Amino acid sequence: MEKQSSEIEVLQGLLESKSKYRKIIQAAIAKWVKDFQDGVIELKTADDLKTLIQLDIELQKGIRLDKRLQSRKKPRG
């Protein structure tokens, strides 16, 4: 039982971290788009945006997986 509680705490910590990382990435994407619209970024640097989007997608997948695992590990009363 104690091991299960520890695993749940670890998963909750991972979810919180991934959510924070997503917020950072989303802010970076918004900044990239604004800079692009303002002409600060030229089209040749679009790989940066692609990388940010890919990171965001991977984090979303991980968050969904962690939530599924967390729901399976909750003790049933």
**Residue 27's pLDDT is what?**
93
Q: What's the whole-model pTM score?
A: 0.58
Look at residues 62, 53, 47 and name the one whose alpha carbon lies nearest to residue 17: 62
Model confidence at 75, pLDDT cuts 50, 70, 90, reads: low
Quick one: pLDDT at residue 77?
Answer: 53
Give the separation between CA 29 and CA 52, rounded to whole angstroms: 7
Q: What is the pLDDT of residues 26-43, one digit of tens each?
A: 998 899 889 989 988 776
